[in-house]
Amino acid sequence: MRSTSQRAHLRMDTTLICTDAVIVGAGPVGLFQVFELGLLGLSAHVIDSMPQIGGQCIELYPDKPIYDIPAVPVCTGRELIERLQVQIRPFAPQFHLDETVSSVQRMDTGRFEVVTSAGTRFDTRVVIVAGGLGAFSPRELEVPEAAALVGKSLHYKVGDPALFDGKDIVIAGGGDAALDWSMALVDRARSIVLVHRSSKFRAAPAHVARMLELCDEARMQFLEGDIVGLEAPQGELTSVRVRVRSGVVQRIETEQLLVLWGLHPALGPIAEWGLTLEQHQLAVDNATFQTSTPGIFAVGDVNSYPGKKKLILSGFHEAALCAFAAGEYLNPGKKVPLQYTTTSTALRRRLGVSADVEGESDRVVTPASPTTDHKSPGVAAPPYTPSRKSAPEPYPTPKTLERAS
């Protein structure tokens, strides 16, 4: 049974959130960590610097097929994240998106204070870092004039599209974001010039075709070249200098510049939490996935140990072992019993499915002998024959994520 103190709860002071566990990162491994903690009765708050969950699966390959998830012959990055979202629903994790964890410090109480870029503070018993390759941040324009214009006339993402109404805009990039925003703003802006270093685009072919049509209709322009400088005499952007293929530098008069060159991950603040690093990753004990600081664990792409493979299925395995280790860290001297979801009443209750399993109770699994390696003790596993009763229900579409305030 989970004690009241083990349940995540919000204090009246909304700036301090007390919880069992904070998971840094909502990629596939951070999401599955919610599940494994939930089975042990531990609840979690999940923080991610991106505005949506999914980590690399959503940022880097949402529509590409993945073939090496056990028992799922093929699914896209997006489908995997949707399935995980459904799977963890019984444990009602609280998500804090668009917030980067900036600091983690042990307090006098032995618990940890976790602080995000948005000023949200957590008082947590354990921290599980599932930060992958690090927080994603936009690839920036590296010209001297850029820094002073960010957020005024130079943008790396579109916040409020109304900002571009009636304006002359240069959009830089050749991926989906650059082309999508070119099309979305074409009727709002006074003029749009798309600048890309090549005539080959990474965006969907249909979007490239539509963009070229808009150019033919003289509703926007495409210029092949590199941005080499900005002009902002009074602190206001007036023009962008582009070196075109011939080597000539052209000035394009503009009021707003939107640079959409994609995102790149960087370990960022995680490297500054005083944890032992091995080749820019967090060194862990691969029996517990604890880092060099007791109470701080690391799973998924962010960690390093002998034989580490950066695969989703490896991260899922790590999440299971990490949950057991976190449970034992929270209850020193007590072993967390291994139970099966098929047969444990307690686990089924936590999952919100029928708690009663005929002829079963909260059976603790003893180590399997070679002859019973896939069965819980004393329970004969019948051969699997799909029937109407046992066939899985159609896969539900997850509802949109609720942002924690």
Ligand X SMILES: Cc1cc2nc3c(=O)[nH]c(=O)nc-3n(C[C@H](O)[C@H](O)[C@H](O)COP(=O)(O)OP(=O)(O)OC[C@H]3O[C@@H](n4cnc5c(N)ncnc54)[C@H](O)[C@@H]3O)c2cc1C
Task: Please state, in angstroms and rounded to a whole number, the distance separating the CA atoms of residues 164 and 240.
Answer: 16
C-beta separation of 157 from 134 below 8 A: no
What contacts 183, CB < 8 A, 6 or more positions away? 207, 210, 211, 214
Among 271, 264, 270, smallest CA distance to 140 is for: 264
The distance of Cα 171 from the centroid of its chain, to the nearest Å, equals 26
In whole angstroms, the minimum distance from the beta carbon of 14 to ligand X comes to: 19
- Structure tokens belonging to residue 395: 């896969």
Q: Is 26 in the site for ligand X (CB under 6 A)?
A: yes
**Alpha-carbon torsion (171, 172, 177, 182), positive or negative:** positive
Q: Is 307 exposed, middle or buried (0-12, 13-18, 19+ CB in 10 A)?
A: exposed
The interface region with ligand X, picked from 82-90, 127-135, 152-160, 251-259 by CB under 6 A, is: 127-135
Residue with Cβ nearer ligand X (24 or 169):
24
Task: Please state, in angstroms and rounded to a whole number, the distance separating the CA atoms of residues 39 and 66.
Answer: 26
Task: Please state, in angstroms and rounded to a whole number, the distance separating the CA atoms of residues 154 and 185.
Answer: 16
In whole angstroms, the minimum distance from the beta carbon of 17 to ligand X comes to: 15
3-class DSSP state of 243:
strand
Residue with Cβ nearer ligand X (32 or 164):
32
Indicate the residue type of 151. Answer: G
Residues 58-74 as b/e (b if ≥16 CB within 10 A, e otherwise) read bbeeeeeebeebeeeee
In whole angstroms, the minimum distance from the beta carbon of 229 to ligand X comes to: 31
Applying CB under 6 A, which of residues 81, 135, 177, 323 lies at the interface with ligand X?
Answer: 135
Residue with Cβ nearer ligand X (133 or 357):
133
In whole angstroms, the minimum distance from the beta carbon of 30 to ligand X comes to: 5
In whole angstroms, the minimum distance from the beta carbon of 67 to ligand X comes to: 6
Q: Is 134 in the site for ligand X (CB under 6 A)?
A: yes
Residue with Cβ nearer ligand X (60 or 158):
60
In this structure, which long-range contacts are made by residues 156-161, counting pairs with CB atoms below 8 Å and at least 24 apart in sequence? 156/259, 156/260, 157/260, 158/258, 161/185, 161/188
The interface region with ligand X, picked from 3-11, 125-133, 328-336, 339-347 by CB under 6 A, is: 125-133
Q: Is 93 in the site for ligand X (CB under 6 A)?
A: no
Q: Give the Cα-Cα-Cα angle 222, 224, 225 (nearest 5 degrees).
A: 130
Applying CB under 6 A, which of residues 173, 269, 295, 327 lies at the interface with ligand X?
Answer: 269
Residue with Cβ nearer ligand X (232 or 267):
267
In whole angstroms, the minimum distance from the beta carbon of 49 to ligand X comes to: 4
Residue count, binding to ligand X (CB under 6 A): 38
Q: Is 365 in the site for ligand X (CB under 6 A)?
A: no
Residue with Cβ nearer ligand X (249 or 313):
313
Question: What residues from 295 to 314 belong to the interface with ligand X (CB under 6 A)?
Answer: 300-302, 310-313
C-beta separation of 28 from 312 below 8 A: yes
The interface region with ligand X, picked from 124-132, 147-155, 271-279, 385-393 by CB under 6 A, is: 124-132
Residue with Cβ nearer ligand X (322 or 325):
322
Beta-carbon count within 10 A of 82 CB: 19
Q: Is 262 in the site for ligand X (CB under 6 A)?
A: no
Strands 277-278 and 296-298: unpaired
Question: What residues from 36 to 65 belong to the interface with ligand X (CB under 6 A)?
Answer: 47-50, 55-57, 60-61
Residue with Cβ nearer ligand X (269 or 327):
269
Task: Please state, in angstroms and rounded to a whole number, the distance separating the CA atoms of residues 165 and 179.
Answer: 17
In whole angstroms, the minimum distance from the beta carbon of 266 to ligand X comes to: 8
Q: Is 268 in the site for ligand X (CB under 6 A)?
A: yes
Applying CB under 6 A, which of residues 19, 100, 182, 254 lies at the interface with ligand X?
Answer: 100
Question: Which residues bind to ligand X, rule: CB under 6 A?
Answer: 24-30, 47-50, 55-57, 60-61, 66, 68, 100-101, 130-136, 268-270, 300-302, 310-313, 315
